[in-house]
Structure 1
Amino acid sequence: MGSACSTRCRKKAASAGDAEAVRWPHLSERLEQHRGGINCLALSEDHSLLVSGSEDGRVLLWSSQSTPVELLGTLSGHEGYVTHCTVHGNYVVTGSADGTVRKWSIVDAKCVHVFHGHGARVNRVLCTGDLVISTSHDKTARAWRFNADLDVQVTPLPDLS
């Protein structure tokens, strides 16, 4: 189940792994435009944008201010399913089973950069300041500069099994 919530603005959304997401308090609203299960959700800092990533490899942008929720755009380009998404300023950053991290312009709904380096699916993505940090099934964490395809640091993760 993926979820995104904000207690400050009382906005919440959840997905159950199928092809739809639900926004509260409007439980009757279902986001059904994905063709596969929804793996991740994210809200923008100002809570105006809801982002959903799916098994279909697409990321959908939704206006969380309108009722009913309005589809604003579709981000396509990953060659595998989308595993994680986050919003950072005017950009969405996604990780995928294709091993890439992508930076998308919210304004243009286009991919503006692809970060390569992981040898397996990306598990999580985090943006902080001018860094994009990702973890992968290849047992590494990578950090890139937000505006360049430059590895700042690669850290092998311990095998805990």
Structure 2
Amino acid sequence: MLDLCKIFGVEKGEKFKIDGYEDIYFIENGYLYYIGDYGEKKSYLKSYLIINDVVGKNIIKIPKKKNFTDDELCVLKNIDKKYKWIARDKSGNLCIFDEKPNKNEEIWDNVIRSDFIELNCYNSLFNSIQWEDEEPVCIDDYVDRESEED
């Protein structure tokens, strides 16, 4: 039997996307599943993708969600909506960005040099955001923020 985890380079249960396909996939009990969205209800459906159609395509792993405390979620909810990303640099400073930053040798930075703010007063919070994270955290994935125009 084929080991789908080896073929796709993912762990059992790890969510991922396949370049060129819209769905989110995961592997459980030797089967490839995708997450179907039916209104407010999510369904896990067996996928019948043909392996030859997807071999060699880029696999995009979806980072696991962070577990934020109620206090941390409250802080995130009250950050100006223009700031969409939060990350911690190598020295431990927490920063928010209006554009998705890239990780360089010691900080998260933006080639465009967009707007960012250091949140030094919150460095003791957000312990789940680490320098070792491969991607910055998208704030809107965790809280629903009202914009001032609403």
- TM-score calculated relative to the size of structure 2: 0.31
TM-score with structure 1 setting the length:
0.29
Larger radius of gyration: 2
Higher strand share: 1
